[in-house]
């Protein structure tokens, strides 16, 4: 623990966030370097900010893996990439009926946001047609927010998704700009930023987040939070690497649970009014400390992820109930 962390007043950082002031780099690093004995005080401070903007409500999101594998990109964390040897299912884009059925399942799980995710660098026109048809039916029949995650978009594709009724588009920055070339070489960090900006231009809510545990430094984690603050991302999924055998990052260690909590607090301080979501890898990184994450975050993924299993949805509902929190139903 550094000297600054030892002397930090966490509630003062919370007040700074509530005043609209951004943490300095030194303050951000101090959050990540806090002694584990300070974590409950740190989470109390993060909760002060979270409660101001979101009360005790929790947004639930559900993913459908609409197209699996078959990806030409070389992202080192992903079991669906061209460089992965992980034994994952491979299939082309699911048909309209299957996508609509997934939306019904999202409602059954009390999710307010349904996330249609497809592997690949970006959608073909045919794939976009299928997504648009499904989105229109879902919008006409169900009270769900729809988030699409289809890769890098062209202007006309972004326009079509917005016109069809997609509320939100996800395109994660994943890691820092400096660390990006060590994770992916088939596209650039700047291309990801450009896609998020394009989404905003066409009236969709920007969703963009990170994956913690890919060799980044604490300073780079703070820089990721700064980048998302600058992008003005409305929803920020915080993933913790689930190192999958067969991927280039298969030997990366897990993020300790206490460090994961510090990361969530950091993002709450730097992006105070935004939806902070505990996303992929929470079960294997936070483990038994998952409930504490909701004192900083206000959103969860429920059910399975793209190629890895999540915990039973009833367990997530139970966590929320036991905390005295409330699921935000139909969170449009």
| Residues annotated within a binding site for [4Fe-4S] cluster | 71, 75, 78
- Alpha-carbon distance of 268 to 296, in angstroms, equals 6
**Per the annotation, where are the binding residues for [2Fe-2S] cluster?**
115, 147, 207, 277
N-to-C CA span, the chain: 42
Q: Which helix (H) or strand (E) holds 192?
A: helix 189-201
Residue 325 gets which letter from DSSP? Answer: -
Token pair for residue 62?
């559900």
Burial category of 311 from C-beta neighbours within 10 Å (exposed 0-12, middle 13-18, buried 19 and up): middle
Residue 202 gets which letter from DSSP? Answer: T
Return phi, psi of residue 327, to 5°. Answer: -70, 130
Supply the DSSP string of 211-248, one letter for each residue: EE-SS--HHHHHHHHHHHHHHT-SEEEEEE----TTST
Q: Work out the number of other CB atoms within 10 angstroms of the CB of residue 232.
A: 13
**Per the annotation, where are the binding residues?**
71, 75, 78, 115, 147, 207, 277
Please name the residues in contact with 171: beta carbons below 8 A apart, sequence gap of 6 or more: 149, 151, 152, 192, 195, 196, 199, 206, 207, 208
Token pair 């059925």: residue: 101
């Amino acid at each position: 623990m550094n000297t600054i962390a030892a002397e930090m007043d966490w509630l003062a950082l919370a007040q700074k966030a509530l005043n609209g002031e951004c943490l300095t780099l030194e303050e951000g690093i101090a959050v990540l370097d806090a002694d584990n004995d300070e974590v409950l005080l740190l989470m109390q401070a993060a909760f002060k900010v979270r409660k101001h903007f979101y009360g005790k409500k929790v947004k639930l999101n559900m993913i459908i893996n609409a197209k699996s594998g078959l990806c030409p990109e070389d992202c080192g964390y992903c079991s669906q990439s061209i460089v992965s040897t992980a034994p994952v299912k491979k299939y082309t884009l699911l048909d309209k009926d299957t996508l609509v059925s997934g939306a019904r399942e999202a409602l059954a799980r009390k999710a307010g946001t349904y996330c249609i995710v497809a592997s690949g660098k970006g959608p073909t026109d045919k794939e976009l047609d299928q997504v648009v048809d499904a989105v229109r039916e879902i919008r006409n029949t169900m009270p769900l927010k729809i988030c699409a995650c289809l890769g890098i978009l062209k202007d006309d594709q972004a326009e079509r998704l917005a016109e069809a009724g997609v509320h939100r588009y996800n395109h994660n920055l994943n890691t820092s700009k400096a660390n990006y070339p060590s994770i992916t070489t088939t596209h650039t960090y700047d291309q990801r930023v450009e896609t998020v900006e394009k989404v905003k231009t066409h009236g969709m809510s920007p969703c963009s987040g990170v994956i913690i545990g890919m060799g980044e430094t604490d300073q780079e984690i703070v820089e990721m939070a700064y980048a998302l603050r600058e992008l003005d991302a409305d929803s920020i999924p915080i993933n913790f690497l689930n190192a999958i055998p067969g991927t280039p990052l298969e030997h990366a260690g897990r993020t300790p649970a206490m460090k994961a909590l510090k990361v969530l607090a950091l993002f709450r301080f730097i992006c105070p009014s935004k939806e902070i979501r505990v996303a992929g890898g929470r079960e294997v990184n936070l483990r038994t400390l998952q409930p504490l994450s909701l004192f900083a975050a206000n959103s969860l993924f429920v059910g399975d992820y793209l190629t890895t299993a999540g915990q039973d949805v009833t367990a997530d509902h139970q966590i929320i109930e036991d905390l005295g929190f409330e699921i935000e139903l139909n969170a449009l």
